[in-house]
Amino acid sequence: MHIDDALRARKSIRAFRHDPVPLDLVKEILETASLSPSGTNVQPWKVHVVAGEARQKLIEEVLAHRETSPADAGAEFTRVSKRKEPFLSRMRKLGKDMYSLLGIPKGDQAANWRQWGRNYEFFDAPVGLIFSVDKDLGPMGFVDIGIYMQTLMLVAKSRGLDTCAQGAWNNYWSVTRRILDIPEEEYIVCGMSLGYADETAPVNTLVSEREPLWSFASFRGFD
Ligand SMILES: Cc1cc2nc3c(=O)[nH]c(=O)nc-3n(C[C@H](O)[C@H](O)[C@H](O)COP(=O)(O)O)c2cc1C
């Protein structure tokens, strides 16, 4: 698959079929993604992969915790700093488009809560990934993890699989750390669903827009 085709075909999938993904294929995707660059080649990515009973246990524990306790967000690192423009408008647009496809009316808090909870079921994807990184590496470790995740998503797409990166998983990092036995020395940065898209689900028709080049790039010294 040409890299541009993979980039254009990849999008966040929020409803998966139950079809399992063979372990060898998951391993191949993760290994290929490790061709990603990292600052001074530290290769700090740690990936905790769950399927079957391990996946089910993680889901059950996080959902049970979520029913009774507030999110852990912010206790380890600040996921969302003060929301400001132009980011706020982009977030709102995504939310509006997604909830409209899901048929959830604005202000329906209960339905919102349930839908956000789908993150913690990996949107039914048979494979869940949790990414962690050594705390000592600071912000550059987050950069490296992000690059690895994007490479992984493209490699998965090139092999006919779909993904959704899920920052939602760092809302309940304390439960995830306990269940997956992730050391205190590592930040739980993000989660990801991996599997085959349910092509019949309206939410998967969501197309998120991109800002024009001029809004984020500046050029100097070309003439
Ligand atoms: C770091 C990161 C965290 C994300 N967290 C979530 C999440 O928790 N739940 C979710 O449904 N989508 C999540 N997304 C998906 C984004 O909403 C999505 O990438 C964005 O809207 C662009 O859409 P696209 O991926 O379809 O191109 C996340 C994406 C990234 C890169």
Determine, yes or no, domain membership for 179.
yes
Q: Whose CA is nearest to atom 19 of ligand 1?
A: 12
CA of 220 to the centre of ligand 1 (A): 32
Sheet with 186-195, edge to edge strand ranges: 46-50, 127-134, 186-195, 162-166
Domain contains 97: yes
Q: From the CB of residue 81, how many other CB atoms can be counted at a distance below 10 Å?
A: 8
Residue 103: band (very low, low, confident or very high) from pLDDT cuts 50, 70, 90: very high
Burial of 96 (0-12, 13-18, 19+ CB in 10 A): exposed
Q: What is the pLDDT of residues 73-89, one digit of tens each?
A: 555 666 566 689 999 99
Residue 222 resides in a domain? no
| pLDDT band at residue 71 under the 50/70/90 scheme | confident
94 Cα to the center of ligand 1, angstroms: 10
Q: How many domains does the chain have?
A: 1
pTM for this model (two decimals)? 0.96
Residue 62 sits in a domain whose CATH number is: 3.40.109.10
* Percent with pLDDT over 90 in the chain: 89
Measured in Å, residue 20 CA sits from the centre of ligand 1 at 23
Q: What's the whole-number mean pLDDT along residues 19-25?
A: 98
Pocket lining: 164 vs ligand 1, CB cutoff 6 Å? yes
Q: Which residues form the domain of 68?
A: 3-77+85-206
Question: Coil, strand, or helix at residue 60?
Answer: helix
Question: Tens digit of pLDDT for each residue in 211-220?
Answer: 999 999 999 9
